[in-house]
Amino acid sequence: MEAIANLVSTIDGWLWGWPLIILLFGTHVFLTFRLKFIQRHIGKAIKLSVTKDDFATGDVSQFSALATALAATIGTGNIVGVATAIALGGPGAVFWCWMTGVFGISTKYAESLLAVKYRVKTADGTMAGGPMYVLEYGMKNKPLAYSFAFFGSVAAFGIGNTVQANSISNMMFNQFDLSPHITGIALAVLTGIVIIGGVKRIASVCDKLVPFMAVFYVIGCTIILVMTAKTIPATIGLIVSNAFTGTAATGGFAGSTIMLAARFGVARGLFSNESGLGSAPIVAAAAQTRNPVRQALVASSGTFWDTVIVCAITGITIVNSGVWNSGLNGGDLTNAAFTHIPVVGPIVLTIGLLTFVFSTILGWSYYGEKCFEYLFHSKKAILPYRIAYTIAVYFGAVMSLSFVWDLADLFNGLMAIPNLISLLALSGVLVKETKEYLWDDNLDKINEEETVVLNR
């Protein structure tokens, strides 16, 4: 097992070197300019996300699709992922994580637009979409489509499942001495109860869970920041300066180069907001929307909330608390920061992480099963996948943290590659659609293109 873990770690380190960082971040920047800084429409995107559309077609509302996507993205990446980035890359990693979110808004917009444009309708009338359909119908490239679907169906067991269960089981053991086996069984049972009902039940749970968990966690971070407000300006200065100079060894921190800060900041930023990964577009394709651009805008607001707001707050809270160089890692580092709130701080963090974890497990179950359905061209493949996914929750709770993180990073990167290729290849389509509906002020226009109907 150790040999396999070392091999995965080696491949992961190579994959997340400069080539993938340049491809990922470069796509973010390219699309930002290609789409005339689509980030400036974030206010409109947020407004659309809570606007009911009576003339839309799809399976779930725009807000439900956003809530499900946020459920999948607001998870351990916001708590443990940011802490891990700081522990390995120094305070500068927070800056790169944040920048991945700012520029990633354009990529989340682009991939969601294409997902809606090239979505299909199955025999039972439900929608199916995502990068695999974009690659097949937009690029006419089935090998890339199948590769994305394969990586996605497997990656769901890492980023959306075992990593999440592992993080909460470790924290429950450290805080309450609760056996990981008990945590794993409880999470697996709850997961099975919800995902067996499909996307509508998942969306219904996420509609209620996401607003509560996000506000609850942000309030906890805000209290800590208010208590340490005097040092916030210096903390922000430290984060920005270390992003371009690296971090010297201090306290329990081993030191970090600019490359490490960028690598772990970008990697954890992607893990958190998933812009460019191709996951969120899968549920965006199920949204009730009158045209692709409306849902693309709504989806892009997810990256804003997840990384530009929540991850930034987590990073500043950890660095500002002064515990970042204590030698701690992951959830232990975040927990140390939350001890600044007497008595209830660790409890607030535990509740926040528990809700984040559960929501992410639910959201990614839908992503994985849609990829699996695509691979086998049959809805009959969904039930076995849900059963295997539920069982994996338990095993994730008792696995090694470092191995799970490395495996999740590896499949994240493998998913991103075919998706980013489609975004770059179809950038002309993105510009055309954006001009028709957004730049020409036709957001209320109903898309009249016929949706492909599959006989399955």
| Residue 92 within any structural domain of the chain | yes
Instruction: Residue 165: give the domain boundaries.
Output: 60-437
* H or E element that contains 127: strand 127-128
**32 in any annotated domain:** no
Quick: pLDDT tens for 287-327. Answer: 889 999 999 999 999 999 998 899 999 999 999 988 888 88
Q: What is the pLDDT of residue 379?
A: 87
CA distance 319 to 196: 41
Note the pLDDT tens digit of each residue in 74-116: 877 787 778 888 988 889 999 999 999 999 999 999 999 999 9
Closest C-alpha to 298, from 98, 42, 102: 42
Q: Region 107-128: what's the mean pLDDT?
A: 92
The CATH number of whichever domain residue 257 belongs to comes to 1.20.1740.10
Q: What is the pLDDT of residue 438?
A: 96
**Domain-located, residue 22:** no
Higher pLDDT, 453 or 104: 104
Return mean pLDDT, the chain: 87
Tell me if 195 is assigned to some domain.
yes
DSSP 183-242: HHHHHHHHHHHHHTTHHHHHHHHHHHHHHHHHHHHHHHHHHHHHHTGGGHHHHHHHHHHH
CB contact at 8 A, 247 and 74: no
Looking at residues 261-265, what average pLDDT do you find? 84
Number of domains in the chain: 1
The pair of structure tokens assigned to 363 is 């959201």
**Which pTM was predicted?**
0.91
How far is Cα 132 from Cα 120, in angstroms, rounded to an integer?
A: 11
For residue 285, being part of any structural domain is answered with yes
Contact 416, 280 (CB under 8 A): no
Q: Which residues of 248-265 are buried (b: 16+ CB within 10 A; e: fewer)?
A: eeeeebeebebebbbbbb
List C-alpha distances in Å: 339 to 20, 349, 355.
37, 9, 19
Q: Is the pLDDT of residue 1 over 70?
A: no
Q: Is pLDDT of 147 > 90?
A: yes
Inside any domain, residue 31: no
Over residues 38-59, mean pLDDT: 86
Nearest to 273 by CA among 29, 36, 26, 106: 106
If one compares 167 and 423, the residue with the highest pLDDT of the two is 423
Q: Would 46 be classed as within a structural domain?
A: no
Summarised one tens digit per residue, pLDDT across range 339-364 is 877 767 778 888 888 888 898 899 99
pLDDT band at 69 (very low <50, low <70, confident <90, very high): confident
